[in-house]
Amino acid sequence: EIVMTQSPVTLSVSPGERATLSCRASQSVSSNLAWYQQRPGQAPRLLIYGASTRATGIPGRFSGSGSGTEFTLTISSLQSEDFAVYFCHQYNDWFTFGGGTQVDIK
Amino acid sequence: EVQLVESGGGLEQPGGSLRLSCAASGFKLSMYAMSWVRQAPGKGLEGVAVIGASGSNTYYADSVKGRFIISRDNSKNTLYLQMNSLRAEDMGIYYCARPLRGLITHAFDMWGQGTVVTVSS
């Protein structure tokens, strides 16, 4: 099973600042990597797929990069609605998720 | 409205069974492979099972293999998860999820609201 490791576990950021989240795969997943946002009490919401393609309706402040085993989600200027948990997800071999990064207000 | 709605969760004793349903509306379920994903309380996400668009192909996480069965009735636009021999570690929110482009494995662009499974004596 491909293990996905996200860092940091918690990220404290001020509104308007940039947030950089990392996700590492235990083996190459090519570009078969997605990012989701999950707010309390809600289902996950797809942000990025194919490592760098924004899903429909996702604002341009969200961007993804990377391939192979190292991936990054960047939120360029945090808005109040962006404080949530973010998960990465590889779908190259079966499908596994990272443990999540909680983005908190600083 | 295009949506997925799960039902069937609840409280069950260890060793018991539950059947979850996921009703799709606004699109043809028959065009998509579908998955079940679960989330233990306060934890991350775990892939549980996948079924191909026709229902011919099914895949399971090792943790549920031999106990859970994923199935579908495309005429009813509904996905199912039969959960047998339930264990405490099966507790959590169960989501049905639709992959992009209907592929067996891809990012999930649509999720249901989830149904809660509690396993306790």
Residue B44 backbone dihedrals phi, psi, to 5 degrees: -85, -165
pLDDT tens across A25-66, in order? Answer: 999 999 999 999 999 999 999 999 999 999 999 999 999 999
Contacts of B50 in chain A (CB under 8 A): 95
Q: What is the pLDDT of residue B101?
A: 82
Chain B hits for A56, Cβ within 8 Å: 109
Q: Is B66 on the interface with A (CB under 8 A)?
A: no
* Contact across the interface for B47 and A97, Cβ inside 8 Å: yes
> What integer pLDDT is reported at residue A66 of this predicted model?
98
Compute the count of residue pairs across chains A and B with CB atoms less than 8 Å apart: 54
Q: Left if phi > 0, otherwise alpha if psi is -120 to 50, otherwise beta: which for B4?
A: beta
> Average pLDDT, stretch B68-73?
98
Chain B partners of A39 at a C-beta cutoff of 8 Å?
none
- Cβ-based neighbour number of residue B121 at 10 Å: 8
Q: Look at A95 and B47 and tell me if their CB atoms are within 8 Å.
A: yes
Is pLDDT above 90 for A68?
yes
DSSP H helical ranges for chain B = none
Confidence band, pLDDT 50/70/90 cuts, at residue A103: very high
Report, as an integer, the average pLDDT of B66-87: 98
Q: How close does chain A come to B13, measured CA to CA in Å?
A: 25
Separation of alpha carbons A11 and A32, rounded Å: 25
Cα–chain-centroid distance for residue A106?
19
Average pLDDT, integer, range A87-106: 95
Candidate from B44, B50, B113 with C-beta closest to A43: B113
Which pLDDT tens digit goes with each residue over B78-115? Answer: 999 999 999 999 999 999 999 998 888 899 999 999 99
pLDDT score recorded for residue A62: 98
Residues of chain A with pLDDT > 90, as a percent, come to 98
- The DSSP bridge partners found for residue B93 are B39, B116
* Length of chain A measured in residues: 106
Residues B5-57 pLDDT 10s: 999 999 999 999 999 999 999 999 999 999 999 999 888 999 999 999 999 99
Mutate to test the interface with B, among A91, A93, A96, A97 (most CBs of B within 10 A): A91
CA distances from A12 to A39, A42, A83, A86, B26 (A): 16, 21, 9, 13, 39
